[in-house]
Amino acid sequence: MHDQTDCIVIGGGLAGLACARELVRRGRRVRVLEAAAAVGGRVATDTVDGFRIDRGFQVYLDAYPEGRRQLDVGSLKLGRFEPGALVAEGRRLRRVTDPWRRPLAAVRSLLEGTVGIADALRIARLRGEVLAAAAAGELDPDRPAAADERTTRAALEARGFSARFIARFFEPFFGGVFLERGLETAEPIFAFTFAMFALGNACLPAGGMAAIPRQIAADLPADAIEVGTPVAAVERGVVRLADGRSLTGRAVVVATDRLAALRLLPAGSLPGADAAQPRGEKGARLVAFAAERSPIGGPTLLVSADRSGPIDNLTVPSDVAAGYAPAGGALVAVSVRPDWAGDDAAAAADVVRQARGWFGSVVEQWRPLATLRIGHALPDESPAARRLRPVGARLADGVFICGDHVTSGSINGALASGRRAAEAVDASLTTG
Ligand SMILES: Cc1cc2nc3c(=O)[nH]c(=O)nc-3n(C[C@H](O)[C@H](O)[C@H](O)COP(=O)(O)OP(=O)(O)OC[C@H]3O[C@@H](n4cnc5c(N)ncnc54)[C@H](O)[C@@H]3O)c2cc1C
């Protein structure tokens, strides 16, 4: 059977699954080897006491072009966040007007007159330019990085935004998305993300984010996926498993995160592997609580510009999509700020202390369900890191790579990289 395999895909995250499905659709025989007990990679959902807890706060943006292309969005039964958000400043919660789709209006209400007209005009101009670029198909964050690519912060400063405006709008919103408040993520990633929020809604699938990889995996032949199968190395196209077996296929796709790919592949396979990494991958923390009722009372994202506690954002997924909480309960999910130094053991208590200022003593009845720490949530997307990425999916004869680290750190980027790797593999199998 092994000799008949057209392609071995190492890693069953979104990129690997998307790659495998595209190859199967093209009539190729594929084996997916996944180290973990289940596929899905970073898009995972745990069940605790009947609550569905996504491993890290994630949203699917329904404007993602690759999602529209690859997913059966209807059967995901997406629940949508309301346009608008609650913004916490000190102990105050201000309702803002659609920060994702109407940033200008949102910023105006967020700042309630504390921003000058110049910054308001700058954001209107930014929005217009970004949406025009999106409409013209010029907004592909997966393109190779240009030599003069800037950070988001540098781009915002070059546009003339005031430091105060950046701190009160861009840092809480986009710092939460990029998992870094320094806004060192490259400008093309910012522009794409800005456009996606402006063009669509942030969504959650019924029953948790894991429904997304589950949907793709369901399209693969039953025996195509082997979970609990860590790969130790890829040497001259031979896949060596951790249990000592060796497998061969006509092609191999390494669909892991970047750090795992560096361990698996021979030295020098990935460009820039020997260069000092500017930052390394970005982590995340999430604290989940069971509550008797929702503190927000609707599908609204709460983001925090209040730096007195650990909360980066707070959502009630059970207000957004079905299946997140058992009947009569609400799931409260809190992302911890990346720069919060407090330890995990104290995180739930620190969250409750901060949230008490917003919702009152009712938060003391929240029951901690889980505190999760995700080591590698997003790849480094600073300009320096992006310039080290491989161009194209082919690394060597018969060896290919995909994953969000070669495109962009998102569901869209992972799906796109998987599809492109499948196209490259298929072409090489056809000609070779
Ligand atoms: C906390 C958090 C928040 C996020 N927020 C968002 C968001 O709001 N919106 C959004 O679009 N994206 C978000 N993302 C990003 C998105 O989840 C990722 O970009 C995407 O899931 C990456 O998919 P991937 O297939 O490239 O990598 P992965 O999901 O990492 O898949 C790689 C797979 O390879 C497997 N593997 C590794 N080593 C081996 C080995 N030696 N042998 C076999 N298998 C191996 C792993 O177990 C894993 O299953 C977030 C991610 C996190 C963690």
Per-residue pLDDT 10s for the chain (432 aa) are 445 899 999 999 999 999 999 999 999 999 999 999 999 999 999 999 999 999 999 999 999 999 999 999 999 999 999 876 787 888 888 776 654 455 545 555 555 554 567 887 888 889 899 999 999 999 988 888 889 999 999 999 999 999 988 887 788 888 888 999 899 999 999 999 999 988 899 999 999 999 999 999 999 999 999 999 999 999 988 999 999 999 999 999 999 999 899 999 998 888 776 555 545 668 899 999 999 999 998 999 898 888 899 999 999 999 999 999 999 999 999 999 988 989 999 999 999 999 999 999 999 999 999 999 998 899 999 999 999 888 899 999 999 999 999 999 999 999 999 999 999 999 999 987
Partner residues linked to 371 by β-bridges:
287
**Residue 298, token pair as written in the block:** 């609707």
Question: How far apart, in whole angstroms, are the C-alpha atoms of residue 102 and residue 126?
Answer: 12
| pLDDT attached to residue 198 | 85
CA–centroid distance, 13 to ligand 1, in Å, is 6
Residue 221 has which token pair?
A: 């032949």
pTM: 0.95
Which residue's alpha carbon is nearest to atom 1 within ligand 1?
56
Nearest to 173 by CA among 103, 120, 115, 113: 103
Distance (Å) from CA 345 to ligand 1 centroid: 25
CB atoms near residue 65 (< 10 Å)? 17
Beta carbon of 58 within 6 Å of any ligand 1 atom: yes
Quote the pLDDT of residue 2. Answer: 45
Ligand 1 atom nearest to CA at 202: 8
Distance between Cα 15 and ligand 1 center (Å): 8
Q: CATH number of the domain that 58 lies in?
A: 3.90.660.20
Cα distances from 221 to residues 11, 21, 23, 29, in angstroms, run 16, 9, 12, 9
DSSP letter string, 60-76: EETT-HHHHHH--GGGG
Q: What angle do CA 351, 353, 358 make, to 5 degrees?
A: 90
Residue 316 located in a structural domain: yes
**pLDDT value of residue 338:** 84
First-residue to last-residue Cα distance in the chain: 20
User: Where is 378: in which H helix or E strand?
Assistant: strand 367-378
- Verify that 335 and 305 share a domain, yes or no: yes
Domain co-membership, 290 together with 363: yes
Enclosing domain of residue 341: 45-80+203-207+282-378
- Give the Å distances, CA to CA, from 369 to 54, 143, 206, 341: 12, 40, 20, 21
Q: Are residues 127 and 247 in the same domain?
A: no
Residues 366 and 301 in one domain: yes
* Within a domain: 174: yes
- The answer as to whether 95 is a domain residue is no
- Which residue, among 123, 126, 129, 130, has the nearest Cα to 109 in the 3D structure? 123
CATH for 244:
3.50.50.60
The pLDDT of residue 17: 98
Same domain for 263 and 288? no
Is 274 in the same domain as 398?
yes
**What number does the ligand 1 atom closest to the CA of 264 have?**
41
Claim to verify: residue 139 and residue 13 sit in the same structural domain: no
Single out the residue in 173, 199, 225 at which a domain terminates. 199
**Pocket flag, ligand 1, residue 34 (CB < 6 Å):** yes
Q: Are residues 287 and 372 in the same domain?
A: yes
147 found inside a domain: yes
Total number of domains constituting the chain: 3
Strands 7-10 and 60-61: unpaired
Q: How many CB atoms lie within 10 A of CB 148?
A: 6
For residues 289 and 371, membership in a common domain is answered with yes
Residue 82 is given by DSSP the state P
**177-187 as b/e: b if 16+ CB within 10 A:** bbbbbebbbbb
Where is 174: in which H helix or E strand?
helix 171-178
- Inside any domain, residue 89: no
Residues 38, 49: one domain? no
Ligand 1 atom with the smallest distance to the CA of 209 is 17
- The C-alpha atoms of residue 182 and residue 186 are separated, in whole angstroms, by 11
- Domain termination site, one of 199, 234, 262: 199
Instruction: Note the pLDDT of residue 143.
Output: 86
The predicted pLDDT at position 99 comes to: 46
Q: pLDDT value at position 96?
A: 64
Q: How far apart are CA 7 and CA 423, in angstroms?
A: 12
Whether 6 and 126 map to the same domain: the answer is: no
Give the pLDDT of residue 71.
98
Same domain membership, residue 296 and residue 330: yes
Given this model, what pLDDT does residue 1 score? 41
Helix (H, G, I), strand (E, B) or coil at 428: helix
209 CA → ligand 1 middle, Å: 12
Q: CB of 14 closer than 6 A to ligand 1?
A: yes
**Residue 111 within a domain:** yes
Mutate to test the pocket of ligand 1, among 58, 215, 262 (most ligand atoms within 8 A of CB): 58
